[in-house]
């Protein structure tokens, strides 16, 4: 178990732990339970340039080992992420979603969708991004994850998007890591100390634990 106090680093029992951030509570210009389009229209009519900031509620990630997450995720891949479109979403258009194209370089668990061995484009959706509505900037401020570097390599635990659409995914239980120099660094805003410090987890050990967990399904 990754335990910085006891000096143990057996990855098989290492678990993701979350510290809930309260940053969202002090962000300026928060829109909550309001019609974003009407609010933007009102500000535009008043000549206000103040942006509308929508905080992503803090996620309470479950305490799970890498092996458990590998067993439960629909798909675990290494892939580069390329930022695409941002748009208002939800039945009330109360949030901003940003899409990222997933260019898979290594499938560690699961099988990407497709028919007759022809794969379909994969997309990651995240509650973040910026759009302009009625001339007013609307931002969804993601307090759960750090910035995704355009084109960088990532290791991701994925689940089906909501609502389910073939080829569209969300991050499962906070499991997204940026890969660099043979290590995988968690993009969670408040990762466990063992993940957040320095370069992160050794990529080879992370891969091995994912494969071990998947084999136990």
Q: List, for residues 89-136, the tens digit of each pLDDT value.
A: 988 888 999 999 999 999 999 988 876 555 689 999 999 999 999 999
pTM of the model: 0.81
Residues 6+ apart with CB under 8 A from 152: 80, 81, 178, 179, 180
φ/ψ (deg, to 5) at 11: -70, -20
Domain boundaries, the chain: 11-215
For residues 144 and 158, give the distance between their C-alpha atoms in angstroms, rounded to a whole number: 16
Domain 11-215: give its CATH architecture: Beta Barrel (2.40)
Return the pLDDT at 168. Answer: 96
Residue 116: the pLDDT is 57
Confidence of residue 8 (pLDDT cuts 50, 70, 90): very low
With a cut of 70, say whether residue 175 has pLDDT above it.
yes
Partner residues linked to 109 by β-bridges: 76
156: helix, strand or coil: strand
Cα distance between residue 95 and residue 86, in whole Å: 10
- The pLDDT mean for the chain works out to 82
pLDDT confidence tier of residue 25, bands split at 50, 70 and 90: very low
């Amino acid at each position: 178990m990754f335990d910085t106090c006891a000096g143990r680093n057996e990855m098989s029992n290492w678990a993701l732990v979350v510290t809930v951030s309260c940053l969202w509570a002090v962000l300026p210009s928060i829109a909550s339970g309001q019609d974003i389009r009407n609010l933007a229209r009102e500000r535009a009519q008043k000549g206000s340039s103040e942006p509308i900031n929508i905080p992503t509620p803090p996620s309470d990630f479950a305490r799970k080992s890498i092996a458990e997450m590998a067993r439960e995720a629909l798909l675990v891949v290494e892939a580069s992420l390329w930022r695409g479109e941002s748009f208002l979403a939800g039945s009330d258009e109360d949030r901003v979603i940003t899409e990222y194209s997933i260019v898979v370089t290594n499938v560690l668990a699961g099988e990407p969708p497709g028919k007759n061995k022809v794969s379909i484009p994969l997309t990651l959706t995240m509650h973040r991004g910026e759009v302009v509505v009625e001339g007013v900037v609307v931002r969804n401020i993601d307090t759960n994850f750090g910035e995704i570097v355009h084109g960088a390599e990532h290791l991701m635990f994925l689940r089906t998007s909501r609502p389910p659409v073939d080829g569209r995914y969300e991050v499962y239980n906070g499991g997204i890591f940026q890969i660099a120099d043979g290590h995988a660094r968690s993009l969670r805003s408040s990762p466990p100390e063992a993940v957040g410090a320095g370069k992160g987890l050794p990529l080879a050990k992370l891969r091995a634990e994912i494969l071990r967990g998947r084999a136990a399904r």
